[in-house]
Each structure stands twice: as C-alpha cells, then as structure tokens.
Amino acid sequence: KKYVYTFGGGSAEGDKSMKDLLGGKGANLAEMSSIGLPIPPGFTLSAEVCKFYNENDEAWPEGVEAQLQEGVAKLEKLMGLKFGDSEDPLLVSVRSGAAKSMPGMMDTVLNLGLNDRSVQGLANKTDNTRFAFDCYRRFIDMFGNVVMGIDHEEFEEVLQKLKDEEGVELDTELGVKELKELVDRYKAVYRKSTGYMFPQDPNEQLHHAINAVFGSWSSKRAKTYRKINRITGLLGTAVNVQAMVYGNMGEDCATGVCFTRNPADGTNELYGEFLVNAQGEDVVAGIRTPRNIDELKDDMPKSYEELVEMTEKLEQHYQDMQDIEFTIQQGELFILQTRNGKRTGVAAVKIAVDMVDEGLISQKGAVQKLVEPGHLDQLLHPQLNQSDISEDEIIGKGLPASPGAAVGKVVFNSDKAEEEHGKGEAVILVRIETSPEDVGGMSAAEGILTSRGGMTSHAAVVARGWGKPCVAGCDDIVINYESQSFTNGEVTVKAGDWISIDGARGIVIKGKKPVEEPSFGENYHTFMNWVDEIRDMAVRTNADAPEDAKRAREFGAQGIGLARTEHMFFGEERIKAMRKMIISETESERREALVSLLPYQKQDFIDIFDAMEGLPVTVRLLDPPLHEFLPDEEEEIESLAKELKIPLRDLKRKIRLLKEFNPMLGHRGCRLGITYPEITEMQSRAILEAAVHLKKQGKTVLPEIMIPLVGTSEEFIHQHEVVDHVAAEVFKEAGESVEYKVGTMIEIPRAAIVADKIAEEAEFFSFGTNDLTQMTYGYSRDDAGKFLEIYMQEGILKDDPFQILDEEGVGSLVKMATEKGRKARKDLKVGICGEHGGDPSSVRFCYNLGLNYVSCSPYRVPVARLAAAQAKL
Ligand code: PEP
Ligand code: MG
C-alpha cells in the first residue's frame, strides 16, 4: 500500500483532489509541482499513517519505513545533496497538514538534519558560519519545543542571559562565537529537560519529528479547535517533509505570506507581509513586525514581479483567492504553500463578483465555491455607527483584522472568557497575542483585541475564519496581565470595563456603543441574483410579526413557512383575554373570551398578509400547552384573580389543574383544537376574515392553515372540517371568498409513518423537525443541553441534532413521509419549518429529498438561499 507520495522537479505522485489523504498542504504542493511552480521538493506521508499511529500505540503501518527511506533517497537525488552531510547537507522542514485547515493547531519543525557536522556543511555551502549556527540553535529550540515538549521560554532565558553577558540587545548582534556558545547552552537545556543528548542522527530526528506531528493531532488544543469548528470524519494529519529553502541567508533573502486579494474587503490587490532576512516562523509568530508587501516591489523588484506572476497563475489554476507562503532565497523565489484564503463575508462576495467579471470563473462556479453560507451570515452582522463615534473616544487603533462590531466587558484570559460567557456575559478577549491555546476563549468572546501581531497573526486568521470581530496589533495600548488592565498612556481600562471594537476599521472605543444593522452592497445583490437563478427550492421564513416578515422579504424570503400564532397572544391586553379563555369553565365562557381575542388576531393577520402580499403564508393554529400562558408568580396570580373577578382559590385550583407532568407530550397542538374547537374556529375566522378584507382591497393573499402536532389522520380530518365550516360562514357573510389550503405539521413520528393516510386529506406537509427530533430521539428539547455537550465530547453524537438534522434517524422519517405523502397526493407541497431549515447541511438534505421549500428565521434566509443553490450544483 502506498503511504508516501513524492513531489518536486515538475512532477508529483499526488494531486489536489487527494486532500483526504495528503492533507490540504500536501495535495496543493503536489498540484503546484505538477503545474510547474517553483516549490522545494519533498514528500508527504499520508494521513492514514497518522490514523494508524494514533490507534496502534504510536506504531507505523507495515511498509512505511521503507517508503520513507525511498522518499528521502529520491529527495537527495533531486537536490543533489545528502542528509546530514558535512560538506553540503540536505536539510528539511517537517510540517503537518490535514484535509481541513487548522491555523496554528499543528506543529512545524524547520532545519531538520542539522547536527554538529552538517552545521559545518551549511556554513561551507552558504559561506556564512553565523547563519549556519543561527539555524542550528533555532533548530534545537524548535525541535526541543515541538518534538520534546520543552518550554520555549527555557531557551529564551538562556538566550537573554547570553545577550546580557555580551551586553547586546538584539539577536542579530550575536556573532559566530556567541552563537556557537548558544548552541552548546541550548543542547544543555535539551539534555537537562529530556535526559537525552540532542540527537545527532538526521534519520532519528526525522522520525521523532514525524511522530510529534502525528501526536499533535490528538493534542488537547487540536481537539478543541476541531470541536469548535465541527471538524469531524478526518483520518488525521498528513506530514510534509520538504527541502529547506532559506529566507534568512542575507539581505537578498526574504520570507512572507500573502493573499492574492485583500481578505478583509476583497479588493483585487496583492495583500500581505514580508520580512527581509528572516524565516517564515518570524512572520507568523508576530515576533518581528512585518512590512507591507508593497515595499517588496522596491526592495526586490524582480522577485516581486515573479511573485505577482505566480499569484496570477495560482488564481487561474485554483479559480479562487489564494493564501500563499513564499520565500526568496538569494534572489530566487520559492512558493512554500498555497491554499484557498480565508476571507470575510464582504470580501467573499466581492471576490466572487470580481472573478466572474474577470472571466476567471463562471457564475455557477462562483456560487458553488467562492462564497460559503456562513459568509452571508457575517454580512448580516451589526456594525458600529460611524457618525456616533468621535475621534477622542477612540482609545486605540490597530489592524482591521476581522470586520463587525463587538461590545463587551474586558477579560484578559481565555478561561475567564469562557467562564463569563457561560454566565451569559458579553466579553471582549484582550491579549498581547493569541495562541492556539486561546481558541476556547476566542470562541466564547464577542470580539478579540490584541496589541501585537499582523493581519496574518493567529488572532486575525482565526477570527476571520469565524467571522468574529477582531482588532489585531493595536500597539497604542499596553496590556498588563498582572494588574488586569490595559492603558494607552492616558486612559486605563480594567477587567470588567466595557469596550467596543470595530473590526472593519480597527478601532477600540471605551464604553458600550450601540450597534446597528448592516446594509448590503451592490455586489451582494448581484451575487444573490445568480444564487436565485440557479436555485429551484424555495426559501420561506418563520415569522409571526409584520416587521419580521418585512425584513425576511427584504432578505429574499418567498413566503412564510411558519407563523406561530401563540406569539401573538402576549401583548398586555391580549394576554388578559387569553388567560380568561384558558380558565373558562364552560364553552360559552370560552367563546366569550375568544370573541375579544378575534379582533387582535385578525389585525395581526391583516398586517402579516399585507407584508407578504402575493406570497404564501402558512399560519399555524395554537400549539403550546395552555399553562404556558398563565402566570406562576404569586403576585401575578393575585392580580389576575382580581382582574378576572374570581376568587384567588378558584384561580389557583384552575392553574393546578392545568399543570401537566409532561407538557410537551400533553394537552397541546391539535389536541387543543379538538377539545376546544372554538379556538380553531376563532383562529380560522381571524385568518380568513383578514384574507377577505385584503382581497377586497385588490390584494392577493395566499393563506395556508396548518394544523400542529397531528399524529392520526382522524385528528386532521376533525380540524379540517372545523376550518372548512368556518370558511364557508366567513365567505358567505363577506360575499367574497379566497383560496386557502389546509395542511399539517409532520412532527410526531406516527404522523411520518402514516403520512400516506394523512396526505389523502392534507394539502401540504411541513416538517416540524424540532418536535420530530425531540420525539424521535426522546430528548426533551428544553432539557437536552444537560447531556448533549457530553454526548458530543464522547463522540456518541456527532452534532447537536437540534441544530443539524439527524439524517440517519429523523431524516429517514422525513424521507419516508415525503415519499408516502407524495404517493397518496401527487402535488403535495412539502416543506420544513424546524430550526434545521436555516442550517446549510440540512438544507442540502431537504433539497436532495425534493422538498418544495425550507423555512427559517429571517436572518438565515440569505444563508438558506445560497445553501439551496449550492445543493443543486
Ligand atoms: C417544530 O416542532 O419543528 C416547529 C417548527 O414547531 P415549534 O418549534 O413551534 O414546536
Ligand atoms: Mg413543533
């Protein structure tokens, strides 16, 4: 079996389609090699080896060792160098790379192959002894840290001590003699910490490093990152072993990272940072402040030209914006890595529209791969009102690392961020810089502020990926962890104080600023037009207030899939009438109370139908258990008794009677309408009178009346008859009629099972996957939080089934009910209105089942539109 794939010299054994096996980095290196880009050659150990390693006590599968040796031999041949050679050694980097990018999660070792002999070889070759020993001491540090787990600080202390002894301030002021001394001292640190000598055999170094990468796959921080980002189903990480090239051999060398377009706003410009005479880690780690890529044009015009050419070639080849790492070694450009660049929502949409305009990709291609549903979600994020902020309120300016406004209380460490977030507090995580250990806290925070690091620092990359506001590298402020505060010299902000950040402008403001809704640009509309041209499944919204309906319509909703009428009973006057209805002892009392509710309901429907004029509106009849409408505080009960003019004791008795052991399985849904048909009558009347009213104004209204929680066709027939009876009355009274449909929710497993029988009567189905999930799993939707987290940690559940439709179980019921329903009624309209209607993977599932529409909350509508289009492609 093949485990090791070589690349370089214009060919490769792998290609970009092999991400699962070779990881993103390995697959792209192979691809770049095949299309003739200048990459340092090497080979990739497949992720299968990692899986085996982690499952078999750190052993390798049979045959890997031999293939590894072949890979090394081939690399030596390509480079014309020998591993560990004392004249001119082959040196390699060892990097992780999984199928999904995990910034900073995995570890890298550079300069592997250096030892007491080959360091001389490197010195000879480069004619630069200082450089060689500098590489060697970095290697010992990195190897010690990454592979052996020695704290990097231990090396730093030794370095600082030596610098103090020598009376110098900068690393670069250390000469050859001092660096040789430093190497010895580093080796001593290594020996003291590990109990072993620093390994001199390059082969042994290589094995250690490869194993360390495999091991880091199951480290806590890698697991946390995967959990937060819901990365599952991967084998492990691949390992890339690649010939070293140097950006730190002198002033004609450089290293950098760049995006082929601006990842924050999408502008078509080379965007990135570089450092002259430095190694890649220096840029990413944010130790030295990197320079703007534009300056490379002046420093190294030829290399800059080449870089521009390469970025164009890469964009054309990948048809996507690329995130590139490069190194210039003595004037020669090497591409070390490329991947599709992470970007903000605004940038994603602009890049998609621009790339289509530039003829780089088709409209379909752009919809399919250049914008993710989550990007659109970001576009809907709130912003700070610019005019609301005066210059003197700004206490710091940093890099606009990730757009959006965030307001919260300052916390200085990640555990605290998680803790406060758990209590429902909004927090801003403020760190000098972030590291992978902070991902939990970053995820918990509303926004992130760092005082150090560039646009490609850990904080910036992670925040952009999540669409979380971030201001990075804000060096106006000095953070003091000890005193739990930061200051810009004039203003001091303490832990717990409120700040507001604007990640699009990179500004920090003291205090709590109001945030406002975003507006969409022209690019958004252009892009969404393409989405809608492709898409054929409709997207509706769940809305029960006219404002929500209006907003959803602006977001592109094609109707209402679920108007929950119970939400309409919570106004001050209404709740009174509702409560009166609920505690009524007799039908006539109940009817009396309902009569006073009717005008409210009717007006609500007029407003909603009006907002959705010309589009279908599904109104669901009363669903929740009645006691939800009753007060439970003593005081409230007393005042209700007074208001209704009944003895307190009677009211309390009534409330007691209405209490249920299992309300979600109790007297709710159509069971209410069947036991109290007058409720269904009132609601149907309100709906149909509203419809008639608007029709008389010449408006088109398409009401669909939905019966909730049906489990038998008899229940449905009963309610259907009540509705039809009222309709006949209303139309006769009004001398006008409207077309209406009567259908049902499918949210009880039994309903899914007898869907054919129900479909004989019902004109449409709408899957209430919230209840359907609740009842299929038997997990209370209101209590599952207590154990779902643990279930996911233990791998018992992959996802929260209330967020992502459980395709295997609940999805099977949806599928079966759809098929059975359509068999009984060919033109049965089928949709979904549970929370899953706004989740991209669930939308795809619904599309594949042939559902007519998904319905989701207003803010999810654009997301669902895109997901529906992508499902088709
Ligand atoms: C459902 O159960 O999925 C549904 C949409 O109804 P509700 O959430 O109101 O119970
Ligand atoms: Mg329900």
Confidence label for 176 from pLDDT (cuts 50, 70 and 90)? very high
CA of residue 357 relative to chain centroid, distance? 28
**Closest to 232 measured CA to CA, from 640, 797, 807, 816:** 797
- Of 11-15, 602-606, 792-796, the range with the lowest mean pLDDT is 792-796
771 Cα nearest atom in ligand 1: 2
Residue 421 has pLDDT above 90, yes or no: yes
* DSSP character string of 669-734: THHHHHH-HHHHHHHHHHHHHHHHHHHHTT---EEEEEE-S--SHHHHHHHHHHHHHHHHHHHHHH
Q: Which residue CA neighbors atom 10 of ligand 1 most closely? A: 771
Three-state SS for 236-273 is CEEEEEEECCCCCCCCCCEEEEEECCCCCCCCCCCEEE
Q: What is the pLDDT of residue 88?
A: 87
Q: Which tens digit of pLDDT belongs to each residue from 526-574? A: 999 999 999 999 999 999 889 889 989 999 999 999 999 987 887 778 8
User: What integer pLDDT is reported at residue 462 of this predicted model?
Assistant: 77
Task: Please name which of 414, 427, 426, 410 lies closest in space to residue 487, comparing C-alpha atoms.
Answer: 410
Residue 747 CA, closest ligand 1 atom number: 2
Q: Given a cut of 90, is residue 86 above it in pLDDT?
A: no
Q: How many angstroms is it from 380 CA to the middle of ligand 2?
A: 27
Q: Which pLDDT value is given to residue 548?
A: 86
Q: What is the DSSP letter of 117?
A: T
* Secondary structure of residue 540 in the 3-state scheme: strand
Nearest ligand atom owner, CA of 709: 2
CA 21 – CA 3 distance, rounded (Å)? 9
**224 phi and psi, to 5 degrees?**
-60, -45
Query: In the predicted model, is pLDDT for residue 104 greater than 60?
Result: no
Q: Find how far residue 725's CA is from the centre of its chain.
A: 49
Residue 232: its pLDDT value, please? 80
Q: Give the distance from CA 774 to its chain's centroid.
A: 25
Looking up tokens 């309906």 gives: 549
Residue closest via CA to ligand 1's atom 3 equals 768
pLDDT of residue 377: 77
Indicate the DSSP class of residue 799: S
Give 689 or 518, the one with higher predicted confidence.
689
Please report, rounded to a whole number, the percentage of residues in the chain having pLDDT higher than 70. Answer: 97
Region 310-330 average pLDDT: 94
The verdict on whether residue 185 carries a ligand-binding annotation is no
User: Is 768 annotated among the ligand-binding residues?
Assistant: yes
Name which of 849, 824, 857, 838 is nearest 562 in CA terms: 857
Ligand 1: which atom is nearest the Cα of residue 767?
Answer: 3
pLDDT at 391: 81
Spacing, Cα 865 to ligand 2 middle (Å) = 23
Query: Which DSSP string do the residues of 609-642 spell out, in sequence order?
Result: HHHTTTSEEEEEPP-S-GGGGS--SHHHHHHHHH
Residue 747 is labelled as binding a ligand: yes
State the pLDDT confidence band at 95, using cuts at 50, 70 and 90. Answer: very high
Q: What is the pLDDT of residue 249?
A: 82
Residues 14-42 have a mean pLDDT of 94
Q: ∠ at Cα 362 (358, 365), nearest 5°?
A: 125
Three-class secondary structure assignment of 20-89 = HHHHHHHHHHHHHHHCCCCCCCEEEECHHHHHHHHHCCCCCCCCHHHHHHHHHHHHHHHHCCEECCCCCE
What CA–CA distance (Å, rounded) separates 256 from 233? 32
Pocket test for ligand 1, best of 540, 544, 562 (most atoms within 8 A of CB): 562
The residue nearest atom 9 of ligand 1, judged by CA position, is: 564
> Mean pLDDT across the chain, nearest whole number?
91
Report yes or no: 210 and 108 within 8 Å, Cβ to Cβ. no
- Measured from the Cα of 564, ligand 1's closest atom is 9
Quick one: CA dihedral 751, 756, 761, 767, positive or negative?
Answer: positive
Among all bound ligands, the one having the nearest atom to the CA of 855 is: 1
The helix (H) or strand (E) run that includes residue 303 is helix 301-318
Q: List beta partners, residue 165.
A: none
More confident residue, 155 or 516: 155
Ligand closest to 833 (CA) is: 1
Q: What is the pLDDT of residues 638-680, one digit of tens each?
A: 988 998 888 999 999 989 988 899 988 999 999 999 999 999 9
Tell whether 340 is in a known binding site.
no
Pairing of strands 616-620, 560-564: parallel
Which two tokens mark 392? Answer: 């003197």
Structure tokens at 208: 């250690």
Distance in Å, CA 670 to ligand 2 centroid = 11
Atom nearest to 768 CA in ligand 1:
3
Share of the chain above pLDDT 90, in %: 70
d(Cα 253, Cα 707) in Å, to the nearest integer?
A: 72
Choose among 572, 569, 593: nearest CA to 581: 593
CA of 204 to the centre of ligand 1 (A): 60
CA distances from 741 to 336, 342, 450, 617, 826 (A): 61, 46, 56, 10, 15
Q: Say which DSSP state 342 is in.
A: P
Q: Which atom of ligand 1 is nearest to the CA of 834?
A: 3
To test the ligand 1 pocket, which listed residue (744, 747, 748, 855) has its Cβ within 8 A of the most ligand atoms? Answer: 747
Confidence of residue 277 (pLDDT cuts 50, 70, 90): confident
Q: What is the pLDDT of residue 737?
A: 97
**620 annotated ligand-binding residue:** yes
Ligand 1 centroid to residue 811 C-alpha, Å: 16
Cα(833) to centroid of ligand 1, in Å? 7
By most ligand atoms within 8 Å of CB, the mutation choice from 771, 773, 813, 854 for ligand 1 is: 771
Which ligand sits closest to the CA of 565?
1
Measured in Å, residue 158 CA sits from the centre of ligand 2 at 64
3-state DSSP assignment of residue 19 = helix
- Nearest CA, atom 8, ligand 1: 770
Reported confidence tier of residue 126, pLDDT bands at 50, 70, 90: confident
Ligand in closest contact with the CA of 768: 1
Instruction: Give the span between the Cα atoms of 389 and 509, in whole angstroms.
Output: 8
What is the per-residue pLDDT across 454-504, written as a single tens digit (0 to 9) for each? Answer: 766 778 877 866 768 999 889 889 999 999 999 998 899 999 999 999 987
pLDDT digits (tens, 9 = 90+) for 331-364: 999 999 899 998 888 899 999 999 999 999 999 9
> In terms of pTM, does the model score above 0.90?
no
**Which tokens belong to 451?**
């005082």
Task: Name the strands in the sheet holding 237-243, side by side, starting at the edge strand that comes first in the sequence.
Answer: 11-12, 4-8, 42-45, 237-243, 92-98, 108-112
Which of 237, 241, 318, 302 has the alpha carbon at shortest distance from 68? 241
DSSP bridge pairs for 238: 97
- Nearest ligand by distance to the CA of 856: 1
- Residue 728 alpha carbon to ligand 2 centre in Å: 28
What's residue 771's pLDDT? 94
Of ligand 1's atoms, which has the minimum distance to the CA of residue 708? 6
Q: Is 572 annotated as a binding residue?
A: no
Q: Which residue's alpha carbon is at the smallest distance from atom 1 of ligand 1?
A: 768
Alpha-carbon dihedral sign for residues 792, 797, 799, 802: negative
CA 869 to the chain's CA centroid: 19
CA dihedral angle for residue 770, residue 771, residue 775, residue 777, rounded to 10 degrees: 0
Name the closest-CA residue to atom 6, ligand 1.
Answer: 768
CA of 768 from ligand 2 middle (Å) equals 5
pLDDT at position 285 over 60: no
Q: Phi and psi at residue 318, in whole multiples of 5°?
A: -90, -10
Residue 750 half-sphere exposure toward CB, CA atoms < 13 A: 8
List CB contacts of 330: < 8 A, sequence separation 6 or more: 249, 250, 252, 253
Q: Shortest CA distance to 394 belongs to which of 507, 227, 299?
A: 507
771 annotated to a ligand binding site: yes
Tell me if 238 sits within 8 A of 26, measured CB to CB: yes
Retrieve residue 610's tokens.
């009006």
Which residue carries 């914008």 as its tokens?
371
Task: Give the pLDDT of residue 456.
Answer: 65
User: Which residues, judged by CB distance below 6 Å to any ligand atom, belong to the binding site of ligand 1?
Assistant: 562, 564, 623, 747, 768-771, 833-834
The atom number, within ligand 1, closest to the CA of 562 reads 5
Residues tagged active-site = 458, 833
Contacts of 391 (CB under 8 A, 6+ apart): none
CA distance 611 to 599: 18
Please name the residue whose Cα sits nearest to atom 4 of ligand 1. Answer: 768
Confidence (pLDDT) at 281: 66
Q: Looking at residue 255, what is its pLDDT?
A: 92
pLDDT surpasses 90 at 90: yes
Q: How does strand 399-402 pair with strand 560-564? A: unpaired
Structure tokens at 846: 């619904």
Q: Which of 381-385, 430-434, 512-516 has the lowest mean pLDDT?
A: 381-385
- pLDDT by residue (tens digit) across 719-747? 999 999 999 999 999 999 999 999 999 99
Q: Where are the beta strands (DSSP E) in 289-358?
A: 291-292, 322-329, 332-340
Assigned token pair, 758: 């129900």
On the question of pLDDT at 799 being above 90, the answer is: no
Separation of CA 376 and ligand 2 centre (Å)? 27
| Comparison of pLDDT for 699 and 225, the residue scoring more | 699
Phi, psi of 32 (to 5 degrees): -65, -35
